C-alpha cells in the first residue's frame, strides 16, 4: 500500500469572487492560437495576459470558431480551391483573420480566392 503523501489528488480553495464570470450572452472569451503545437484554446477576457487584440465572443461563437480552426488545421480538402505556395502560411492567414476580426469564415475564404 502506497503512503498517502504519494497521492496525485490535490485539494485547493478559492472564494467565489475569484472565479471569472461565465454566461451565454456576454462576449467573455477570446481565442489563443499556438502555431508551434497547432492547437487553439479559448481564454477569458479577465485573463491578465489578454492584450485586447483578439475579438471577444460569446461562448457559442467561441465554440464555433474553435471548430472551424480545428478543421482548418486538420483537414486539407478545403485548400484545393485556393492557389498557394505554402499551406501552413495560408492556414495561418485565415486563422488569424478568424481570431482578430469579426469576419465569418465564408467572408475570409472569399478574400483568398
Q: 65-107: per-residue pLDDT in tens?
A: 999 999 999 999 999 989 999 999 999 999 999 999 999 999 9
pLDDT at position 39 over 90: yes
d(CA 82, CA 72): 13
Higher pLDDT, residue 48 or 9: 48
* pTM, entire model: 0.81
The stretch 51-63 carries a mean pLDDT of 97
Reported as a single tens digit per residue, the pLDDT across 13-34 is 777 666 677 788 999 999 999 9
> Where do runs of H (alpha helix) occur along 1-113?
59-74, 87-100, 105-112
Amino acid at each position: 500500500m502506497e503512503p498517502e503523501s504519494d497521492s496525485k489528488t490535490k485539494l485547493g480553495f478559492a472564494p467565489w469572487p475569484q472565479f471569472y464570470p461565465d454566461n451565454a450572452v456576454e462576449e467573455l472569451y477570446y481565442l489563443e492560437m499556438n502555431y508551434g503545437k497547432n492547437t487553439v484554446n479559448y481564454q477569458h477576457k479577465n485573463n491578465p495576459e489578454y492584450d485586447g487584440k483578439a475579438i471577444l465572443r460569446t461562448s457559442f461563437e467561441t465554440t464555433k470558431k474553435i471548430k472551424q480552426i480545428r478543421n482548418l488545421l486538420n483537414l486539407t480538402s478545403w485548400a484545393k480551391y485556393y492557389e498557394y505556395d505554402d499551406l501552413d502560411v495560408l492556414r495561418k492567414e485565415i486563422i488569424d483573420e478568424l481570431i482578430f476580426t469579426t469576419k465569418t469564415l465564408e467572408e475570409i475564404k472569399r478574400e483568398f480566392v
